[in-house]
């Protein structure tokens, strides 16, 4: 059973550039979540998908952020015109919608550094 | 609105001693409560959850947590700490009407030999 994978693990970019991250959830999981974690803080919710539908977006997800989950499998998170404040760890998680399963399983994260 | 408080930034304990990491929560509906552990440069690893039922829940690596509805607390415990337990621990809550997890700020556990 492979866990949640994320690519790349690290990304350094210059301010103003666009970046895209990928998340591959656990294969049978139909819910996928994105969180952002800054230094010294807990993860903060950004958005989640059930299958290919994006069902909730946080106010943290500004217009420069867009997430997709085509075909309900992997997901991408794109940040346009990056700012230094975007520097953070971006975490992806997945879960299975059943009556008995509530926990989310996290990937290793993508650490973004904007210079 | 959902919220979680972890009042201790760091907990220090000697190996072999019991440990407690504190967490209190606030939700409007029924709480679903979770503990996760994070090792350096790694994602979060699920430890245990409380959804309903017994107030004492057991999880991975010998950890357990006690749900106390009257005190709105969900403290993480382990009878005998190991040096390898040293890590960052996060408490999280999910309101029964929502999907997102709301995390606390984390507690760093340091177990000394």
Reported as a single tens digit per residue, the pLDDT across A54-77 is 998 998 888 999 999 998 899 999
**Are B100 and A58 a contacting pair at CB < 8 A?**
yes
Under 8 Å between Cβ of B3 and B26: yes
User: pLDDT confidence of B2, banded at 50, 70, 90?
Assistant: confident
Under 8 Å between Cβ of B111 and B99: no
Contacts of B98 (CB under 8 A, 6+ apart): A56, B2
Name the residue in chain B with its Cα closest to that of A34: B100
B106 beta partners: none
Is the per-residue pLDDT at B97 higher than 90?
Answer: no
Per-residue pLDDT of A10-67, as tens digits, reads 999 999 999 999 999 999 899 999 999 998 899 999 999 999 999 989 988 889 999 9
Say how far apart CA B109 and CA B89 lie, in whole Å: 7
Positive or negative CA dihedral for B81, B82, B83, B84? negative
**Are B46 and A109 a contacting pair at CB < 8 A?**
no
Under 8 Å between Cβ of A112 and A90: yes
Say how far apart CA B11 and CA B33 lie, in whole Å: 21
Could you tell me which residue, B46 or A99, shows the higher pLDDT? Answer: B46
**Nearest Cα residue to B42 out of A47, A74, A3, A95:** A3
Tokens of A76: 């991408």
Per-residue pLDDT of B25-73, as tens digits, reads 998 888 899 999 999 877 899 999 998 888 999 999 999 999 999 999 9
What was the pLDDT predicted at A99? 55
In chain A, residues 66-85 whose CB comes closer than 8 Å to chain B: none
What was the pLDDT predicted at A85? 95
Tokens of A87: 């520097």
Size of interface A-B (CB pairs under 8 A): 59
**Are B46 and A55 a contacting pair at CB < 8 A?**
no
How many C-beta neighbours within 10 Å does residue A109 have? 26
Give me the DSSP letters along A67-109.
EE-GGGS-EEEEESS--GGG-EEEEEEEE--BTTB---EE---
Please state, in angstroms and as integers, the Cα–Cα distance from residue A21 to each residue in A91, B38, B78, following that order.
10, 21, 37
Under 8 Å between Cβ of A37 and A6: no
**Are A91 and B43 a contacting pair at CB < 8 A?**
yes
Under 8 Å between Cβ of A93 and A33: yes
**Nearest Cα residue to A106 out of A20, A36, A55, A11:** A36
Share of chain B above pLDDT 70, in %: 99
Residue A71 has phi, psi (to 5 degrees) of 65, 10
Which residue in B34, B43, B103 is closest to A103 by CB distance? Answer: B34
A19 beta partners: A79
């Amino acid at each position: 059973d492979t866990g949640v994978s994320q690519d790349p693990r690290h990304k350094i970019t210059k301010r103003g550039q666009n970046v895209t991250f990928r998340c591959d959830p656990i294969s049978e999981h139909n819910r996928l979540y994105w969180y952002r974690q800054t230094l010294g803080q807990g993860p903060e919710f950004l958005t989640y998908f059930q299958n290919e539908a994006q069902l909730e977006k946080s106010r943290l997800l500004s217009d420069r952020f867009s997430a997709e989950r085509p075909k309900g499998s992997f997901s991408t998170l794109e940040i346009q015109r990056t700012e230094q404040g975007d520097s953070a760890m971006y975490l992806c998680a997945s879960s299975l919608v059943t009556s008995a399963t509530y926990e989310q399983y996290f990937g290793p994260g993508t650490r973004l550094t904007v210079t | 609105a959902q919220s979680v408080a972890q009042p201790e930034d760091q907990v220090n304990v000697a190996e072999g001693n019991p440990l407690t990491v504190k967490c209190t929560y606030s939700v409007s509906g029924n709480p679903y409560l979770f503990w996760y552990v994070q090792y350096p440069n790694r994602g979060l690893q699920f430890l245990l959850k409380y959804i309903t039922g017994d107030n004492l829940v057991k999880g991975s690596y010998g950890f357990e947590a006690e749900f106390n509805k009257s005190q709105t607390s969900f403290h993480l415990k382990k009878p005998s700490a190991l040096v390898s337990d040293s890590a960052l621990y996060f408490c999280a809550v999910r309101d029964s009407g929502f999907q997102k997890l709301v995390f606390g700020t984390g507690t760093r556990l340091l177990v000394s030999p």
